[in-house]
Chain A
Amino acid sequence: MIRGRPGLVAAILVAAALLLPLTAVAWRAEAWTGLAPRDWGALRFTLWQAAVSAALSVLAAIPVARALARRRFPARGAVILLLGAPFILPVIVAVLGLVAVFGRSGVVNAALAAVGVDPVSIYGAHGVILAHVFFNMPLATRLILQGWLAIPGERLRLAASLGFSARDTFRRLELPMLRSILPGVFLVIFLICTTSFAVALALGGGPGATTVELAIYRAFRFDFDLGRAALLGAVQLFVGGVAALLSLRLALPSGFGAGLDRAVPRWDSAGLGLRVQDGAAIVAACLFLLVPMILVLAEGAFHLGALTRSVWAAALRSLVVALVAAGLTTALALAMAYTATTWRRGGVVEIIGTLSIAASPLVLGTGLYILLLPVVNPVRLAIPVTILVNVLLALPFALRTLIPAMRVLHDDWHRLSASLGMHGLTWLRLVALPRLARPAGFAAGLTAALAAGDLGVIALFASPDQATLPLALYQLMGSYRMEEAKAAALVLVILSLGLFWAFERGGRHAAPA
């Protein structure tokens, strides 16, 4: 029990950190003179690629989710874990992996060349979409799998007793479920894809493959046209805001594998054909996710020695960014979750905490640059700004985990704590932290992994001597030092997933059984 409303203070800080940069963007947006044709092109491409990416992700996810929903096999837990991994995998590492498979000298082109087909290029619109499907097909699978597992077992038993075939079950039970959840899944992924920066930076770029986020970066970095960057930022904010409003009531991922560990017994799917179909869906999904990673990481292991001192320095910077962001996010989220659950008007705090899903890293970065410019050289603050933006972007996920946990804590232990007079730090130390260790560890781990792998605002601000590891990796790719890039990717994956594992594990260890 804490007197006062610490979460309200936190929420006001968060609101200021979000709204001030956004106001600066709106204010500097070049008198709203209208968009140049190439900016319209960027907007069109952003919407188009997001729609195509979301549609393909959802379509590819349906057979995989269906297979996971109705099959039990020994590695099922591992597959579900694998489907959760892309969420915390650094984007630039995945891009490197996709280049290794689909790039000019990649596996696919080698195979095509062997049968005399011209090589395909991964750079351009289809590369951007491919990478988005790589990241979002697993997310879609998990969200759709939740829908599948929410079909009551009684209804499947009833279907079995009525002699439903797999096709009948699909039409009577599964199709209605899909109709109700697919629009939400599509929108969530559409929203994610509209703010895509790192993928577009690495794989897109041409006139037909520039997202608004990338256009902001270019206006900023190459033309140093703050007004145009701000105008594009306002456009991006509008797109993100509309998509966020549409998907406000829909699920964001809040856990890895929670509740996904059961398969509902099915009596209609025992036929060999359906078994083969399900097996193929699962194997294809796993190969699609694993092969790029294995190619990068296995080769990277051989070149670790080639990494220069500056890459290791970048790794250290990323570690600091990740740790500070994780600590700040968790502290803010704990305070906000407390006030959100105990204050009558706590809903306001919760809303402020999720506002940032409408903001994008580059828009926030542009706004912060405009704000800082009169006061200090923003480039010198590249690392603190990166931390701040990562805290803001990770907050909705942290709250998504901590608010329900805080609610349970309050319902179960509020009376006993109050009757014993446990308040403030005593309550925090003896009741809240031990009982919330697990969700807090998860939130911290998620934030650390996302911040360690983030290639967003740092690209906008940093001079080469301030690069974080993802930026250093991008620079290595840009200068075609692929072997070092793969070694750096290995370090980055170990850093991101290792931080997630350590925090999550630590929380679980500290939590009472």
Chain B
Amino acid sequence: MLRLHDVTLALGAFRLQADADFAPGRITALMGASGSGKSTLLAAIAGFLAPVSGRIEVEGRDVTALPPGDRPLSILFQDQNLFPHLDIARNVGLGLRPDLRLDRDQKAARDAVLDKVGLGGLGSRLPRDLSGGQQSRAALARALLRGRPWLLLDEPFSALGPALRAEMLDLVASTAASEDLSVLMVSHDPGDARRIAQDTALIADGRLEPPRPTGPLFADPTPSLRAYLG
């Protein structure tokens, strides 16, 4: 469970209120107009922005004061998910040990994950020698290797074409199911939410509305979702 207890975020003049629970073992889409604060909320959960007030709890633990790397979650950003000067194997290996001193078992685990996302044999390439889709797969591989229960996606596939993006979303959905990951993904495309998210939560007018099952929500939209969908 990922709980936001009366969280207030402030960034300049912008304010966001969030009080909601996100169920584990599911994919939840976080929707809202651009500038509504989706990424800001994700940044706060990941530990890059301290809330003005309130508590963030993950798996029963108060993480509000934890540094980003110690939280039980991984995050994929919109860009700059891979260090351009480290090859793919090292970029992925960072998920096991940030100092990259991997033993033989850890290296085997890393290679297995690379195989799983379809990057077997590409470990020695630099990120710039990979396609956009392959780079996304490498970032996802690292998140899997870290084995944290929650995965936050801040629109990491937005630079990909529609077909590739759908493919990556399906890969996220299938690995989330097989690895028992809980996913919170930012999206501005209702199609993405309908494609893989069991739940959807909307941010509108500086407030987070609690997540609801995606199907019924879209069948009978709330006023603010109706306004967003137009």
Q: Is the CB of B47 within 8 A of A416?
A: no
By secondary structure, the B interface counts as: loop
Interface flag for A479 (CB, 8 Å):
no
Query: What secondary structure prevails in chain A residues at the interface with B?
Result: helix
| A4 → B minimal CB distance (Å) | 14
- Inter-subunit contact B85/A418 (CB<8 Å): no
A418 in contact with B81 given A423-B98, A426-B98, A430-B100 (CB within 8 Å): no
CB-defined interface of A425-438 with B at 8 Å, one 1/0 digit per residue? 11001110011000
Q: Does A412 have its Cβ within 8 Å of any Cβ on chain B?
A: yes
Which residue of B84, B86, B99 is within 8 Å of A426 (Cβ)? B99
Say yes or no: B81 contacts A416, CB within 8 Å.
yes
B69 touches A435 (CB 8 A): no
**Max chain B CB contacts within 10 Å: which of A425, A429, A434, A512?**
A512
Report the bound CA distance from A421 to B47 in whole Å: 11
Of residues 254 to 280 in A, which have CB atoms within 8 Å of B's CB atoms?
A: none
Q: How far is the CA of A419 from the CA of B75 in the complex (A)?
A: 7
Quick one: which of B80, B98, B126 contacts A420, CB cutoff 8 A? B98
- CB-CB under 8 A from A425, the residues of chain B are 99
Q: Which residues of A from 467 to 488 have beta carbons under 8 Å from B?
A: none
B216 within 8 A of A: no
Known pairs A412-B80, A415-B77; A420 contacts B95 (CB<8 A): yes
Are A422 and B98 also in contact (CB < 8 A) when A415-B77, A416-B81 are?
A: yes
Instruction: Report yes or no: B81 in contact with A430, Cβ–Cβ below 8 A.
Output: no
Report B-chain residues with C-beta under 8 Å of the C-beta of A435: 85
Q: A415-B48, A512-B85 are in contact. Are A421 and B74 (CB under 8 A)?
A: no
Flag whether A413 is at the interface (Cβ < 8 A).
Answer: yes
Q: Interface digits, B113-147 against A, CB 8 Å rule (1 contact, 0 not)?
A: 00000000000001010000000000000000000
A416 touches B83 (CB 8 A): yes
Shortest Cβ distance from residue B180 to the other chain A in the assembled complex, whole angstroms: 21
Q: Tell me, in angstroms, the Cα distance from A434 to B87 when the chains sit together.
A: 13
Collect the chain B residues with CB atoms within 8 Å of residue A426's CB: 98-100
Q: Which of A412, A413, A422, A513 interacts with B69 by CB under 8 Å?
A: A422
Whether A420 pairs with B67 at a CB distance below 8 angstroms is: no
Q: How far apart are the CA atoms of A79 and B31 in the complex, in Å?
A: 57
Q: B residues 85-114 with Cβ under 8 Å of A?
A: 85-86, 94-95, 98-100
B80 touches A421 (CB 8 A): no
* Chain A nearest CB, measured from B60 CB (Å): 21
A419 touches B83 (CB 8 A): no
Q: Which residues of chain A are near B68, meaning CB under 8 Å?
A: 415, 418-419, 421
Once bound together, how far apart are the Cα atoms of A155 and B226, in whole Å? Answer: 48
Q: Which residues of B contact A413 (CB under 8 A)?
A: 80, 83
Inter-subunit contact A420/B69 (CB<8 Å): yes
How distant is B130 from chain A, measured CB to nearest CB, in Å? 15
Given contacts A430-B86, A512-B84, 16 further A-B contacts (CB under 8 A): A412-B80, A413-B83, A415-B68, A415-B77, A415-B80, A418-B48, A418-B67, A418-B69, A419-B69, A419-B74, A420-B69, A421-B68, A423-B69, A423-B98, A425-B99, A513-B128
Chain A residues with a Cβ under 8 A of chain B = 412-413, 415-416, 418-423, 425-426, 429-431, 434-435, 511-513
